[in-house]
Every structure is written in C-alpha cells, then in structure tokens.
Amino acid sequence: MCGITGIYRFDKKKIDKEILLSMNNSLIHRGPDFGNIFLENNVGLGHRRLSVLDVSEKGNQPMKSSNDKYIIVYNGEIYNFLDIKNTLLDCNYKFRSKSDTEVILNSFQEYGNKCFSMFNGMFSIAIYDIIIYKQVPIIS
C-alpha cells in the first residue's frame, strides 16, 4: 500500500518544505518505488508509491489533472475503475496512464464530489483545487 501525507495551514503561513519531506520520507516502507511532494504556500501534499497497476512514471503522484486545476494524492484501490474509465472515454477524456489515480482525478473533474459514490473500493484521497486557492490571500 502507498502512503499519503498532507499539511494545510489554516493561518495561511507557508509550509516548511523540510517538514513535509520528512513526513513523506517516514512512509518509505509503504511506498519504496517513488516519492514526491507538492507544495504551494500553505498547502502541502506528499505521496510514497508502491507501483501496482501502472508501474511507469506516468502513474506517479502527486498527479495534476489534465485541466491543471487539481492535484491528487491517493492510496487504495478502486475495483471498478476500468468501467468508470470507459465512461470517461465516452466523454472524450484522454488518459496518459493506466492508473486508477488518473481515473479518480478525471472523475472528480467531470462529476465533482458525486464521483465518490461511483467508486467501489477502499481508498483515502486528498484533492487540492489550485484555482480556488489562487483566489485566497496568503500571509508570508
């Protein structure tokens, strides 16, 4: 199983990158194949990857949506992701990977919070909306 980490500072102060890296690296035993973080002012997301479905780097996380609006970190398994992917293909979504992570991200992009009721599986997900965030003032 992969591992995810995250920090959100309600006081809007910037996150210390070293703290987020330390949190993420503490989960290396859960995801020895790849690790990375996303950091933007008072929001930080981290992911440690155990490659299962798509072992290529295209399945690495944090993953950005095709419309550049969302960032996701995810751990788990969506058993019906291929069915959902086929529905999204019918809606003209393109996929860069074979991962269920990208299916979740595109589902969220298409259906919003309603997508979660479509998922059959076990999962923990954090999705960050970059566009809304850019409209919120940051305290340095």
- pLDDT for residue 20: 93
The per-residue pLDDT for range 76-116, each reduced to its tens digit, is: 999 999 999 999 999 999 999 998 999 999 999 999 999 99
| pLDDT band for position 139 (cuts 50, 70, 90) | very low
Domain ranges of the chain: 3-134
Taking phi first (over 0 means left), then psi (-120 to 50 degrees means alpha), and beta for anything else, what does residue 75 get?
beta
User: What is the pLDDT at residue 138?
Assistant: 46
Share the mean pLDDT of the chain: 88
**76, burial (CB in 10 Å: exposed 0-12, middle 13-18, buried 19+):** middle
**What percent of the chain clears pLDDT 90, i.e. is strictly above it?**
66
51 or 28: which carries more pLDDT confidence?
A: 28
Q: Which residues contact 126 (CB under 8 A, 6 or more apart)?
A: 4, 6, 45, 72, 73, 74
Task: Convert the pLDDT of each residue in 113-134 to its tens digit.
Answer: 999 999 999 999 999 998 876 5
- The CATH class that applies to domain 3-134 reads alpha beta
**pLDDT score, position 140:** 40
Q: How many CB atoms are closer than 10 A to CB 137?
A: 5
Catalytic residue among 1, 2, 38, 78: 2
Residue 135's pLDDT is 52
Taking the C-alpha atoms of residue 137 and residue 120, their distance in angstroms, rounded to an integer, is 37
Tell me the pTM.
0.86
Cα–Cα distance measured from residue 46 to residue 105, given in angstroms and rounded to the nearest whole number: 16
2 carries an active-site annotation? yes
For residues 121 and 1, the answer to whether their CB atoms sit within 8 Å is: no
The answer for residues whose C-beta is within 8 angstroms of residue 23's C-beta and 6 or more apart is 5, 7, 46
Does residue 136 carry a pLDDT above 60?
A: no
Distance CA 124, CA 2 (A): 10
